[in-house]
Amino acid sequence: MKISVSFLKSNYDKLETIKKINNTDCDYIHVDVMDNIFVNNYTEDLIPYLNSCKKPLDVHLMVQDPLEYILAYKNLKPEYLTIHLEIDKDISFLLNKIKSLGIKAGIALNPQTPIDKLKPYLKDIDLVLIMSVQPGLGGQKFMPSCLEKIKSLVELKEKNNYKYLINVDGGINDITVKDVKTAQVDMCVSGSFICQAEDFQKQINLLK
């Protein structure tokens, strides 16, 4: 299972946090981008901080209008750019735009959104991000209801030979990670569990 580290909720400033993540064996740095419209939170321009990243980037756009952010982040050459299914935009157009830039495209699903709404896009995407908390705020408690969604995605993937990775984001720690591993996720995002600890690598080892 791959580990993607979210750095916004940390005991250290952003540059120091990214430096500490760089020195671990995690697989990705997870970049939470918020616009205070789609979610009730806002992130400043993170691009200047991300130039020091030595890990592949996994960018999660919690924004109502992703296109401007896709164009802004493309120069960092992230491995994944993930948009939310719940936005009132042309999802297929946005996925095609991401892929046209040579970036893998993902879709995120909020806790209240059923898997059925995702089915038309599954054959075309590289990653599904299942939210196990309400998006927009770090440090929330894990919602076990996400586990059934993960299991459904595993079944759909196997049945149809789809290629997407299954990622889960929210409330991941050394206890909840056991449940998502059992549900067969490919990757999980962890933020405060890692970045509010003194030893980042120790926390990553606990997850792995």
Under 8 Å between Cβ of 204 and 25: yes
35, 124, 169, 179: the catalytic one is: 169
SS3 label, residue 44: coil
Q: How far apart are the first and last CA of the chain?
A: 7
- With b meaning 16 or more CB within 10 Å and e meaning fewer, what string describes 133-160? bebbebeeebbeebbebbebbeebbeee
65 is catalytic: no
Burial of 83 (0-12, 13-18, 19+ CB in 10 A): buried
Rounded to whole angstroms, the Cα distance separating 133 from 135 reads 6
Contacts of 93 (CB under 8 A, 6+ apart): none
Q: Which listed residue (32, 35, 58, 126) is catalytic?
A: 32
The answer to whether 169 is a known catalytic residue is yes
**Alpha-carbon dihedral of residues 24, 109, 128, 90, nearest 10 degrees?**
-120
Beta strand residue intervals within the chain, DSSP E: 2-6, 28-34, 57-62, 80-84, 104-109, 127-131, 165-169, 187-190
Task: Please give the positions annotated as active site.
Answer: 32, 169
